[in-house]
Amino acid sequence: MADQGISRDEPGEVPKQFQNEQASAETSTVMNVLGYGPHIRQARIEAYKAWARHSTAKARGIVTYITTGSKAEGLTSYLESDTDHLIVPESVICLEDGVDSSSVPVEKTIFRSCSRISYSGHYRLLLERCGTHISDVVYNALCDDGFGRGLLSSDLYVTQWLNLKQGEGTVQHERAGPSTPRTIRVLDVDYVHALHFYCPSILTRWAARHRYWPSPDVKRSWIATIDEMMTEGPRMILRLPKIRQAIIAHPEPLRWFSGRKIENEMLELICMNRLALGMDEDTDVIIQAINSRQKEILGRFG
């Protein structure tokens, strides 16, 4: 007598578990060939971390660079999408109400967040103390709050960065929210100029907040949806006709093309970090070797 409610594979049919494992392995192969495997992603992550570290050191304590978005996660190649950077000045700090400012070095400019006259998630930043040097960008973003106190305008702050003169080969675009997008030669970059905000009690309240967990019917629906995605995801990728046809019909040419593409990207990331270290593009031996190899790679595609 057959068991009730148990799904069994038909005689002669490939077991479903084996089908899923095979689809998963094929998907992993596809991602590796296309340049999105774990080793390539990690190499991108390390390269952008190094760039941010070199750029911060080169700024000599003026600003800190932080790479964010898909580049920081290693999910996109060099020119596949724009590069997102946070730029945080070291000469300014914002403090929430009640935080003692006596330990803040005199070099730093202090802004105080006024939660009593703000709404959740947004704060008015009032100038509490000017540091030994206040940058023109910060100074020109100050306005009067109506009571003779300096109030930092986020709109003016972003506008100040937009109005700065750009270097040769750089095209400044219109702002997009807090972002100041620009194109540097062929690379699209989004800069977001942020400020340090020390807010221990806000973080404590956030961590201790009451969670309203969804009902069991919702958690079960999510599990079913995730299970379906895990089952169908690999098959959806493998159904991409051009990629699958290329893998099946021409595996070696695809691997060769992908290998040259990945090598070219890795060389570009090395060059990016050499420039961030301050090396001269026309005299640095490593950059010259990289340019020579890239010309050789691109010549094979010509």
What is the pLDDT, as a whole number, of residue 53? Answer: 97
pLDDT of residue 302: 60
pLDDT digits (tens, 9 = 90+) for 216-261: 888 788 888 888 877 776 666 666 666 666 666 777 887 888 889 9
Do residues 141 and 156 touch, judged by C-beta distance below 8 A?
yes
* pLDDT of res. 213: 77
Residues 265-282: what's their mean pLDDT? 94
Is the model more confident about 195 or about 214?
Answer: 195
Sorted by sequence, the CB contacts under 8 Å of residue 104 that are 6+ apart come out as 93, 95, 110
Q: Is there a contact between 162 and 192 (Cβ–Cβ < 8 Å)?
A: no
Q: Given a cut of 60, is residue 14 above it in pLDDT?
A: no
Bridge partner residues of 280 (DSSP):
none
Q: How big is the chain by its Cα radius of gyration, in Å?
A: 26
What DSSP state is assigned to residue 115?
G
DSSP state, 13? P
The pLDDT assigned to 79 comes to: 87
* Start-end of H helices in 190-284: 200-207, 216-238, 241-249, 251-276
- Please say whether the beta carbons of 197 and 94 come within 8 A: yes
Q: What is the pLDDT of residue 2?
A: 45
Q: Is the pLDDT of residue 57 over 70?
A: yes
User: 289 or 205, which is more confident?
Assistant: 289
**Average pLDDT, stretch 27-34?**
76
pLDDT at residue 206 in the model: 81
Q: Minimal CA–CA distance to 195: which of 87, 69, 62?
A: 87
124 in Cβ contact with 146 (< 8 Å): no
Question: What residue ranges do the domains of the chain occupy?
Answer: 16-43+215-301, 82-206
Residues with Cβ within 8 Å of residue 237, at least 6 apart in sequence: 27, 30, 243
1 pLDDT above the threshold of 50 = no
Please tell me the distance from the alpha carbon of residue 71 to that of residue 81, in angstroms, as a whole number. 8
Mean pLDDT of 164-182: 90
- d(CA 267, CA 295) in angstroms, rounded, equals 11
Q: Residue 12: pLDDT above 70?
A: no
pLDDT of residue 8 exceeding 60: no
Element holding 63 (H helix, E strand) = strand 63-68
| Tokens encoding 214 | 């969804």
Residues in the chain: 302
84: left (phi over 0), alpha (psi -120 to 50) or beta: beta
* pLDDT higher at 296 or 227: 296
Is residue 44 packed enough to be buried (19+ CB in 10 Å), middle (13-18) or exposed (0-12)? buried
Question: Dihedral, CA atoms, 16, 20, 21, 25, nearest 10 degrees?
Answer: 150
Confidence of residue 6 (pLDDT cuts 50, 70, 90): very low
- CB count within 10 Å of CB 178 equals 15
Contacts of 113 (CB under 8 A, 6+ apart): 94, 95, 96, 97, 123, 124, 125, 197, 199
In this prediction, residues 155-179 reach a mean pLDDT of 90
State the pLDDT at residue 255.
83
Q: What is the pLDDT of residues 61-70, one digit of tens each?
A: 999 999 999 9
Q: What's residue 214's pLDDT?
A: 77
Please report the sign of the dihedral spanned by the C-alpha atoms of residue 91, residue 96, residue 97, residue 99: negative
* pLDDT of residue 165 exceeding 50: yes
